[in-house]
Amino acid sequence: MKWMNRVKALWKEEEGLGTLEIIMIIAVILILAVAFRKWIIGWFEKLLGQANEQLINNTDTVDGTLLTPPK
């Protein structure tokens, strides 16, 4: 029961609440990243592949839009 009382006291203590919230947000982001890691990796590889193709082909357009600086 001592352990449970310490957990309750820690939960009620508001000093470290900001830190706890940040830790929980980071934990949720990490869980989502792990859950969707295959999709994220695939998206990133596709993005880099498209950029690499444009560099290899030396194209001046992205999605049909000409990439020239305005005059």
pLDDT, tens digit, for every residue of 4-61? 887 777 777 766 667 788 889 999 999 999 999 999 999 988 888 887 777 777 656 6
Domain span holding position 46: 2-57
Q: What angle do CA 37, 27, 43 make, to 5 degrees?
A: 20
pTM of the model: 0.45
pLDDT, tens digit, for every residue of 9-22? 777 776 666 778 88
Is there a domain that residue 7 lies in? yes
**Structurally, how many domains does the chain consist of?**
1
CA–CA separation, 26 and 34 (whole Å)? 12
Is there a domain that residue 12 lies in? yes
